[in-house]
Copies of this chain bind each other. A is one copy, B any other.
């Protein structure tokens, strides 16, 4: 039997997080027990504040502290170029490249009929509403998975009457990777997508 019910409850909560097993959860709990009480209070309050105050951008649906996210509110961004991604974390990944000057649309998922994720479970309606105005290009940057492929096909099919140019980001060999250890599907895509040098 454990000596502290309180610790067990905290371990249970921590172990409910992804990537954290019971052993790590216990280690985290013991770490928190050794911190000053104010630190732990601040830790917990920061998480509550995040959950309470973070909302979806009224335009692109990414997570933000304000009604409109800083990217959508930035007058230097090209609002006629929309990059469609699955998750807010994908926006951060693309922003880190520093190359893209358009705006985003975050679906918060991808179509997955097997798991019961349909069109109304992700921000598809919000995307189509944006596409009704005069858009120059839609760049699909969903994940190269079965779900991403399905989502791509659905968007292409539904936007056909709108004649908006739709592109998808290139699939090929990752920079720095080794041909020898690249899987067949990626290598095959890399051949199909070959470019003049």
- A interface residues, Cβ below 8 angstroms from B: 1-7, 9-10, 12-14, 16-20, 24, 26-33, 35, 37, 40-54, 57, 62-65, 69-71, 87-89, 91-92, 95
Q: Which residues of chain B come closer than 8 Å to A26, judged between CB atoms?
A: 89, 92
Which residue of the partner chain B has the closest CB to A45? B44
Contact B70–A50 (Cβ < 8 Å): no
Contact A1–B44 (Cβ < 8 Å): no
Which residue of the partner chain B has the closest CB to A5? B65
Which residue of the partner chain B has the closest CB to A1? B70
Could you tell me the distance between the alpha carbons of A113 and B7 in the complex, rounded to whole angstroms? Answer: 30
Which residue of the partner chain B has the closest CB to A40? B51
A44 to chain B, nearest CB (A): 4
Q: Which residues of chain B come closer than 8 Å to A43, judged between CB atoms?
A: 13, 16, 47
Q: Which residues of chain B come closer than 8 Å to A2, judged between CB atoms?
A: 92
A36 to chain B, nearest CB (A): 9
